[in-house]
Amino acid sequence: MKKTFELEDLDCANCARKMQEAIEKIPGVTSCSVNFMTQKMILEADDSNYEAILKEAVKTIAKVEPDCTVLL
């Protein structure tokens, strides 16, 4: 499953890169793209476990940049 999520208060391109690299390491993630310019994240992961993977991705984003919010 592949979905796009808007990000709110993503402050820098370096943080976006760190988020993307960390999310790609989550088991079950096929691909992830975090774009600073568009303030969006495209997450592709296993259909069977997508909600749990998304939850882990949101936690990862909060660790990298606590002010950034994923609009679900």
pLDDT in tens, 27-71: 999 999 999 999 999 999 999 999 999 999 999 999 999 999 999
CATH number of the domain that residue 28 is part of: 3.30.70.100
Q: Show the CA angle centred on residue 46, arms to residues 2 and 6, nearest 5°.
A: 35
Distance from C-alpha of 46 to C-alpha of 38, rounded to nearest angstrom: 25
How would residue 16 be classed by pLDDT, with cut points 50, 70 and 90? very high
Task: Report the domain count for the chain.
Answer: 1
Distance from C-alpha of 32 to C-alpha of 20, rounded to nearest angstrom: 6
Q: Is 36 left (phi over 0), alpha (psi -120 to 50) or beta?
A: alpha
List the domain range (segments joined by +) for residue 57: 2-71
pLDDT value at position 11?
A: 94
pLDDT value at position 52?
A: 98
